[in-house]
Amino acid sequence: MEYKDYYKLLGVDRNATQADIKKAYRRLARKYHPDVSKESDAEARFKEVSEAYEVLHDPDKRAAYDQLGASWKQGQDFRPPPGWQWSGDFDGAGGQSDFSDFFESLFGGMGSPFERRGGFGSSRGFRRRGEDQVVTTTITLEDAYNGASRTLNLQTRITGADGRQHLEPRKLRVKIPAGVTQDQQIRLSGQGQPGQGGGDRGDLYLKINIAPHRQYRLEGRDVHLDLPVTPWEAALGCSLKVPTLGGWIDMKIPAGSQNGKRLRLKGRGLPGKPAGDQYVHLKLVTPPADTEAARALYRKMRDEMPMDPRESLTV
């Protein structure tokens, strides 16, 4: 369906004031009014300029029309965007509509507001739900575990009395629940962009970004920690204090543990239903042989505890 450039029909710029639009309409209405015009296509031209004025003189309708964007060019096929709603009826002569198909598709289900003398009727109004917004906020892993609050700096699209839109800053204090995960979106109902013509506000979706942590790795709700241990702690077994997001706990290291062994602390990850776990990965740390006594001890271990850790390798 063909897109109609209402600004071009009235011969005004897209930044035209309401006074400019009214002046242009009156001039063209006098020129093409069927009762006085000598033009062969006067009636059709009169309907076109009247339709253009019906949209551009109304701030809500003008703002809605402008949302089609500059990418629409005359001659392109047009499909009305989702979410457009109108209420109200107009009855023209014989019940026929004087609107173009483009107007009907955009604003929907209306008859003619035009009378033969060139006046306008009235509607019960245009309604459109506001757009949803997505805002990303970065939190720490501790915030994800304990919950947090943030003040968001938002931009709200406001339609002025002249039908033009501008952005106004606003602040919104939000609570982030404990147990949120990376890229999770929290829906804040009615906190998006304002609706038009009394339409409901859209929703705000708060997307969570969890900053990298200096000692933990996060996978879903599970937390991973590399725990340095000495060879004798791993070989003989012991009990060590291990950090978790909820505080220090005692954990038993089984005798004979090897480097890279993974131990599970159930429910010690992020809160949830179910809660995540914490996985502890053992990392053997070898004491430095930086003294003669240390080197002698290593030689004794070599002689008294012979082993080939590479015997399973093949080519």
Mean pLDDT of the chain: 83
Task: Note the pLDDT of residue 95.
Answer: 37
Q: Between the CA atoms of 229, 232, 234 and 236, what dihedral angle is there, to the nearest 10 degrees?
A: -150
* Dist. CA 137–CA 184, nearest whole Å: 11
Residues forming beta bridges with residue 264, ordered by sequence position:
279
Q: What is the full DSSP assignment across 266-310? A: TT-SS-SSSPP-EEEEEEE-PPP--SHHHHHHHHHHHHHS---TT
In a domain, 311, yes or no: no
Lowest mean pLDDT among 2-6, 47-51, 210-214, 224-228: 2-6
Give Cβ neighbours of residue 185 (< 8 Å, ≥ 6 apart).
134, 205, 206, 207, 208
Residues 114 and 150 occupy one common structural domain: no
- Under the banding of pLDDT at 50, 70 and 90, the label for residue 94 is very low
| Structure letter (DSSP) for residue 2 | B
**Do 281 and 221 share a structural domain?**
yes
Domain final residue pick, 96, 113, 128: 128
Q: Is residue 315 part of a domain?
A: no
Q: How confident is the model at residue 85, as a pLDDT?
A: 46
Biggest distance spanned by C-alpha atoms of the chain: 117
Please determine, for residue 257, whether its predicted confidence score (pLDDT) is greater than 70. yes
> Would you say residue 149 lies in a domain?
yes
- Mark whether 173 and 236 lie in a shared domain: no
Q: Are residues 116 and 25 in the same domain?
A: yes
Number of domains comprising the chain? 3
At 97, which CATH number?
Answer: 1.10.287.110
One domain for residues 159 and 142: yes
| Both tokens assigned to 242 | 């291990």
Answer whether residue 312 is part of any domain: no
pLDDT tens, 129-169?
Answer: 888 999 999 999 999 999 999 999 999 888 777 667 788 99
**DSSP conformation letters of the chain:** -B---HHHHHT--TT--HHHHHHHHHHHHHHH-TTT---TTHHHHHHHHHHHHHHHTSHHHHHHHHTT-TT--TTSB--PPTTEEE------GGG---S-HHHHHHH-S----B-TTS-B---S-EEEPPPPEEEEEEE-HHHHHH-EEEEEEEEEEEE-TTS-EEEEEEEEEEEEPTT--TT-EEEETT-SS--BTTPPP--EEEEEEEPP-SSEEEETTEEEEEEEE-HHHHHH-EEEEEEETTEEEEEEEPTT--TT-EEEETT-SS-SSSPP-EEEEEEE-PPP--SHHHHHHHHHHHHHS---TTTT---
CATH (domain of 262): 2.60.260.20
pLDDT digits (tens, 9 = 90+) for 213-224: 999 999 999 999
pLDDT at 70: 47
Of 114-128, 140-154, 177-191, 286-300, the least confident: 114-128
Domain co-membership, 53 together with 106 = yes
Tell me, yes or no, whether 121 and 168 share the same domain.
no
Residue 314 belongs to a domain: no
- Say if 242 falls within a structural domain: yes
Residues 92 and 108 in one domain: yes
- In tens, the pLDDT along 280-311 reads 999 999 999 999 999 999 999 999 999 998 99
The whole-number pLDDT of residue 283 equals: 97
Asked whether residue 27 is assigned to any structural domain, the reply reads: yes
Q: Which of 161, 189, 210 is the last residue of a domain?
A: 210
Q: Which of 53-62, 88-97, 261-270, 272-281 has the lowest mean pLDDT?
A: 88-97
Q: How far apart are CA 292 and CA 294, in angstroms?
A: 5
Percent of the chain with pLDDT over 90: 53
Same domain? For 93 and 187 the reply is no
User: Is the peptide bond prior to 288 cis by the omega test (within 30 degrees of 0)?
Assistant: no
The residue to which tokens 């709603």 are assigned = 85
What is the reported pLDDT for 108? Answer: 56
**Domain co-membership, 99 together with 154:** no
Domain termination site, one of 64, 93, 128? 128
Task: Specify if 43 maps to a domain.
Answer: yes
Query: Are 123 and 163 in the same domain?
Result: no
Question: Residue 119 belongs to what domain range?
Answer: 6-128
Amino acid residing at 21? I
- Rounded Cα–Cα distance for residues 197 and 207 (Å): 29
Q: Are residues 11 and 113 in the same domain?
A: yes
The more confident residue out of 111 and 16 is: 16
Residues 6+ away with beta carbon under 8 Å from 268: 223, 244, 245, 246, 249, 275, 276, 277, 278
